[in-house]
Amino acid sequence: MFVENQWIKIKAPATVANMVCGFDILGFAVNNPYDEMEMRWMTRANNEPSIVIINIDDYQLPTDPEKNVAGAALLALLEEYEEKAGVPKIKFEVKINKLIKPGSGVGSSAASSAGAVVGANYLLGTIFSKDDLVRFAMNGEKVASGVKHADNIAPCIFGGVTLVRSIFPLEVVALPSPQLHVTIVHPQIEVRTSDARSILKQQVLLKDAIKQWGNIAGLVAGLMKSDYDLIGRSLEDVIIEPVRSILIPGFDDLKKACKQAGALGGGISGSGPSIFMLSKTKEIALAVEKEMNQLYDGIGLPHHTYVTTINQAGVEVEA
């Protein structure tokens, strides 16, 4: 175990879930933005709480561990830890400085829960596997959105591009990918994950599903072959995007402009409202950013952009 009472620093990256055609199964981590956290452990007396959350930022997120995404993830981890190891009884203190705006659609809640469990595992001497950590962190997602999903958690913990082949039982597959530049725009509107989910149809046409799984297979093959054109052609979503994009102002025009500027493709990040685009070079990614700014400036919608790359490391700990 790591030294008692001594703080470690944690960097937890933002993540893009779904990756256009891979609804609920694909995701990737980016190098910017990211959350900063600090954590330490100490021996817990019987009457003490096992988790103390300290918010450094101004988002006024709940500090009650059961209502806080990092707290809920740590509670799940501690429960299994105490069954496994038991002694000494552990208490975690966690300082969270959210630089990823909650509700932006780039895995803000996942960063907190993933960062917390990776940090805790480091403090405890790395006794849990990455799969275990994803499992624990999914409890944070349940607090945030009511659903235990792993499409942000998995890339946040593993880094790179990940496939959640199965959720019960959990199986995460790391997918090799070539260097990809990512442009993200966060229009300052609110899209609730629960709303974005409730407008989806429960049934889809078999012929659309076949198109979708052709694209998913193409995207996985394109990533693993470093075939940029195949990646670009496969970044098409005939099921979710046509429904969800109506929640995001200017979506179709923005996507068209970004592709004309040279982007391989892109779409809604998670359930939105952020939109991401993938490009082969930094120059194209910057040209894509310009298009995004122009379009949202044009309709007077406040927004924020990031030009970054795929993060291959996942959550990082500095002792």
Q: Catalytic amino acids? A: 141, 193
Residues in 148-207 that interact with its own copies by CB under 8 A: 163-166, 171, 173, 175, 200-207
Out of 3, 127, 221, 313, point to the residue binding its own copies (CB under 8 A): 221
183 contacts 305 by C-beta, under 8 angstroms? yes
98 versus 149: smaller Cβ distance to its own copies: 149
54 versus 210: smaller Cβ distance to its own copies: 210
H or E element: which one contains 233? helix 228-234
Residues in 283-302 that interact with its own copies by CB under 8 A: none
65 versus 270: smaller Cβ distance to its own copies: 270
Out of 27, 218, 266, 273, point to the residue binding its own copies (CB under 8 A): 218
183 versus 212: smaller Cβ distance to its own copies: 212
SS3 24: coil
Out of 178, 214, 249, 262, point to the residue binding its own copies (CB under 8 A): 214
Out of 123, 184, 220, 285, point to the residue binding its own copies (CB under 8 A): 220
Residue 54 touching its own copies (CB under 8 A):
no
87 versus 206: smaller Cβ distance to its own copies: 206
45 backbone dihedrals φ, ψ, rounded to 5°: -80, 160
231 contacts 264 by C-beta, under 8 angstroms? yes
Rounded Cα distance between 106 and 112, Å, is 12
Does the N-terminal peptide bond of residue 102 adopt cis geometry, omega within 30 degrees of 0? Answer: no
134 contacts 154 by C-beta, under 8 angstroms? yes
H or E element: which one contains 40? strand 26-43
Interface with its own copies: number of residues (CB under 8 A) = 39
60 versus 203: smaller Cβ distance to its own copies: 203
Out of 211, 259, 282, 304, point to the residue binding its own copies (CB under 8 A): 211
Does the N-terminal peptide bond of residue 33 adopt cis geometry, omega within 30 degrees of 0? Answer: yes
Rounded Cα distance between 285 and 287, Å, is 5
What residue has token string 């409202």?
Answer: 273
Beta strands in 57-143 (DSSP E): 90-97
Beta carbon of residue 211, minimum distance to its own copies (angstroms, whole number): 8
Question: Parallel, antiparallel, or unpaired: how do β-strands 51-55 and 90-97 relate?
Answer: parallel
Site string for its own copies, 222-241 (x = CB under 8 A): --xx----x--xx----x--
Residue 22 touching its own copies (CB under 8 A):
yes
CB count in 10 Å sphere of residue 271: 24
Beta carbon of residue 209, minimum distance to its own copies (angstroms, whole number): 4
Rounded Cα distance between 146 and 139, Å, is 9
Beta carbon of residue 220, minimum distance to its own copies (angstroms, whole number): 4
Rounded Cα distance between 134 and 115, Å, is 11
Residue 210 touching its own copies (CB under 8 A):
yes
Beta carbon of residue 155, minimum distance to its own copies (angstroms, whole number): 14
Binding-site ranges for its own copies (CB under 8 A): 22-26, 163-166, 171, 173, 175, 200-207, 209-221, 224-225, 230, 233-234, 239
